[in-house]
Structure 1
Amino acid sequence: MGLQSFIIKFLKLDRFEPNRIVTSNVVSPKVLCFIRAIELAYVTIALVIVWCNSTSFTNYAKFFTNLTFFGIFAYLLSCTIWSVFYIRVPEAERAHWVKQGNPWWGYTHWMLYSSVVVYSVVVPLVFWTLLSKGMGSWTTMAWYQNISVHALDGVFGALGELILSRHFLQPIHSFLVAGIMLLYMFMTFIVYAREGTWVYPFLRWSQGPIAAVYYIGIAIGLFIVFFALYFIHNARNSFFKEHSARMNPELEHSPVEEKNHGGKVEVEDV
């Protein structure tokens, strides 16, 4: 088994169904494309405004919120592009078309989705509980930016996708999501070594043991959010299974997970 095959099997990427990128449980592919295009337009405008109000690219990129908001932009952009091409294909050919091309585009999109939905819950929770002090002194622009990247990110990235998408989460991907956050933590140490200040106040080691509580608490919270979303996704897809089939008659519904019990293969739909 080659390295690529090992990665695919280990991360269970071979269980991904590309049609889930462009289809919904509750709306048609065209409506889904339209909604995501509107979300993409808003996110793009907000992204540019926040970027332009930063003193430098370095100052912009050191904030986890900005990085995750860019992740939402990348996710919505890829979704919209896929959808535009998908709805232009004759309905009878869509199930075949969506499986064409390099599968790694779909694998990458799936892993991006996992990070987007989790961070879109974690970021607003952390911001509004630990970082939103001094709201009385915020300018109109500050309110716009904070609502966009610390509230509407949850609407677009978590709530909206929970309602609209047909994606599912894979437990092993929780470590990828946690790994991204761990890499970010390492980056904050580099920023501190370079600038002498912590990106976020609660990261300061000078606080003593409470700093470790923050670090560990956020890490545990991330896994709690991931697995809560995992069960919500499975329950949602199961509940809307028949409605999804009616909304997307062109799809060849294939099993997501298979388990072998004593030589008998059983299919689990999510």
Structure 2
Amino acid sequence: TSESQGTKQHVSTLSLTTLFRVYQTTDDKHHFETSWILPPVILASLRGLISLYIFTSIFIFWGWYGTHDNLSSIGRSFSYFTWLSYWGIGFYMLFAAIHTACYARTGRSALFDRWPRAFRVLHSLLYVTVTTYPFLVKAVFWAVIFTPPWPTKTFNGWQNVSQHGLNSVYVLLEIILPATAPHPFIAIPFLLFILLLYHCIAYITHETEGWYRYSFLDAGSHGQKSKLVVAYCFGILAAVLVFFVISCALVQLRCRLTHGRNMRARRDPLRAHDAFIGFVGRDEQSNEMKTVSGLEAAMGRFSSSGGNCLVR
């Protein structure tokens, strides 16, 4: 019996929910729904506005394609990693805004508490992707794909800024402002697997439509560029690992500077508890400062008396 219990405990420690740091049935930390500096209502509004801008810009892009004899580009957009990443940011901001708004209204994780813990795992993985992939998109576009000069058409310039410039701004806001915990390293295999899936999509698109979405994936008609393609793939693999580490380090730095503080909703039952702990901490710190000041004064008198403790 003890062996079976030990085996069950060992298996539970290796579950995805544990590896993604989703331990409890209910979410009382509210990392994804709170900020260390913004109230939940403002955080939800900011995320909602970013999501609204992303989806609005996407439909404007599609409208432009449809009215300028480029209707096929709408379907082809789903074969670009840039577009898929842009969609991912939009959906994450939408989901995060809904979760944060529900928390601001009820004081608890209304949706996370009802759903299985697997949904929190998926939300955590989605957060890792939207704080890692946009950096990769930005680096590959400006270092490999973009060729000067800057587009003369205002529409093309706006699209480039939205998808290859503002995307990293959204990522930095999502890294700096919320009270999210550092990335779990178990997310790395999933990041690489998603890139592998996209690699398959790129070559399926080539087989069905006869052209590559990104020229650096073209190995040539007889494979003469295969070594170059392999080098590009390993370079992208290394880049995504580097950006994952950078993103994780920035989150850890923010957690260290803010001491894990978060602004809870008014109806959160733990808000009063956090306020009490903060008050006690400040009171203890004040007492420690008074004690240190008293010791410094005593040492000063001791030194001025020449070390004679009997001198008054």
- Work out whether the TM-score is over 0.5: yes
1:149 aligns with 2:166: no
For the 8 Å contact 2:35–2:179, the answer to whether it is kept is yes
Q: Name the CA distance, whole Å, in 2 between partners of 1:251 and 1:240.
A: 22
Q: Name the CA distance, whole Å, in 2 between partners of 1:241 and 1:150.
A: 33
Q: Name the CA distance, whole Å, in 1 between partners of 2:130 and 2:54.
A: 13
1:188 to 181, 196, 202: 202
**What code does the residue aligned with 1:248 have?**
R
- Superposition RMSD in Å: 2.6
How far has the Cα of 1:97 moved from its partner?
A: 4.5
Q: Name the CA distance, whole Å, in 2 between partners of 1:137 and 1:95.
A: 48
Report matched runs for 1:216-227 at 5 Å.
216-227=234-245
Q: Name the CA distance, whole Å, in 2 between partners of 1:145 and 1:120.
A: 15
Q: Which residue of structure 1 lines up, in the alignment, with residue 264 of structure 2? A: 248
**What code does the residue aligned with 1:71 have?**
G
How far has the Cα of 1:164 moved from its partner?
A: 1.0
- Of 96-105 and 37-46, the range deviating more from structure 2: 96-105
Q: Which residue of structure 1 lines up, in the alignment, with residue 173 of structure 2? A: 160
Which TM-score applies when normalising by structure 2?
0.71
For the 8 Å contact 1:25–1:237, the answer to whether it is kept is no
How far has the Cα of 1:98 moved from its partner?
A: 6.6
Q: Which residue of structure 2 lines up, in the alignment, with residue 260 of structure 1? A: none
Q: Which residue of structure 2 lines up, in the alignment, with residue 179 of structure 1? A: 193
Runs (5+) with no aligned partner, structure 2: 1-7, 66-70, 272-312
1:212 to 211, 217, 230: 230
For the 8 Å contact 2:99–2:109, the answer to whether it is kept is no
- Divergent runs of 4+, >6 A: none
Cα 1:39/1:208, change in 2 over 3 Å: same
Q: Which residue of structure 2 lines up, in the alignment, with residue 14 of structure 1? A: 22
Deviations 1:7-33 (A, max 9, x none): 425743524856112101221111111
For the 8 Å contact 1:114–1:173, the answer to whether it is kept is yes
Rg larger for: 2
For the 8 Å contact 1:19–1:251, the answer to whether it is kept is no
Secondary structure at 1:205's aligned position in 2?
Answer: coil
1:83 to 100, 103, 106: 100
Runs (5+) with no aligned partner, structure 1: 254-270
Secondary structure at 1:19's aligned position in 2?
Answer: coil
- Of 166-175 and 62-71, the range deviating more from structure 2: 166-175
Q: Percent identity?
A: 24
How far has the Cα of 1:126 moved from its partner?
A: 0.7
Cα 1:212/1:44, change in 2 over 3 Å: same
Q: Name the CA distance, whole Å, in 2 between partners of 1:67 and 1:7.
A: 29
For the 8 Å contact 1:68–1:116, the answer to whether it is kept is yes
How far has the Cα of 1:208 moved from its partner?
A: 4.5
Deviations 1:136-170 (A, max 9, x none): 444211111111111111111x1111111222210
Secondary structure at 2:114's aligned position in 1?
Answer: coil
Q: Which residue of structure 2 lines up, in the alignment, with residue 108 of structure 1? A: 122
1:63 to 77, 80, 83: 80
Q: Which residue of structure 2 lines up, in the alignment, with residue 130 of structure 1? A: 144
How far has the Cα of 1:209 moved from its partner?
A: 2.5
